[in-house]
């Protein structure tokens, strides 16, 4: 149980285009999903917290107009990187917290999406 998928697993796009990444909780409902970014050999940096049916909360320094997050259902959140540039190339990981969880730590990670912008 508690499986989170991401799609696509990797994507290459041209500079200036937009890319959408999906994060799905497959066997549980996730009221909260988190989006992280990770550069090579570095830790996970939280970009935003996404709650179903409401606007995402972005971390300081993350441009909300560039990284659009939508959490339209209890099993799906999407991250759209708009007008991507080479510096947006990174590994993007989502995690999902079950709605029934009373434990602050409980979240399940997706396998990540590697974005390369040429």
Partner 1 sequence: EDKVVQSPLSLVVHEGDTVTLNCSYEVTNFRSLLWYKQEKKAPTFLFMLTSSGIEKKSGRLSSILDKKELFSILNITATQTGDSAIYLCAVPGSSNTGKLIFGQGTTLQVKP
Provide the binding-site residues for partner 1, judged by CB under 8 A.
4, 32, 34, 41-46, 49, 57, 93, 95, 97, 101, 103-107, 109-112
CB of 16 to partner 1, least distance (A): 28
- Smaller CB distance to partner 1: residue 70 or 101? 101
Taking CA 118 as the corner, what is the angle to CA 24 and CA 47, rounded to the nearest 5 degrees?
Answer: 40
- Smaller CB distance to partner 1: residue 44 or 76? 44
Closest CA to 15 of 118, 87, 113: 118
- Smaller CB distance to partner 1: residue 93 or 117? 93
CB of 91 to partner 1, least distance (A): 9
CB of 39 to partner 1, least distance (A): 11
Tokens 């996730």 belong to residue: 30
3-state percent helix, strand, coil for the chain, nearest multiple of 5: 5, 55, 45
Burial (CB count within 10 angstroms: exposed 0-12, middle 13-18, buried 19+), residue 13: middle
CB of 88 to partner 1, least distance (A): 20
- Smaller CB distance to partner 1: residue 14 or 103? 103
- Going by the DSSP 8-state scheme, the letter that residue 96 receives in this structure is E
- Going by the DSSP 8-state scheme, the letter that residue 87 receives in this structure is G
């Amino acid at each position: 149980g508690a499986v989170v998928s991401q799609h696509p697993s990797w994507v290459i796009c041209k500079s200036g285009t937009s890319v959408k990444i999906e994060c799905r909780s497959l066997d549980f409902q996730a009221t909260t999903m988190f989006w992280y970014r990770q550069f090579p050999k570095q830790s996970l940096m939280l970009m935003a917290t996404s709650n179903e049916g409401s606007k995402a909360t972005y971390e300081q320094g993350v441009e909300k107009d560039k990284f659009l997050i939508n959490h339209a259902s209890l099993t799906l959140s999407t991250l759209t990187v708009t007008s991507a540039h080479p510096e947006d190339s990174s590994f993007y990981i989502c995690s999902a917290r079950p709605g029934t969880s009373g434990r602050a730590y409980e979240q399940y990670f997706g396998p990540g999406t590697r974005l390369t912008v040429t």
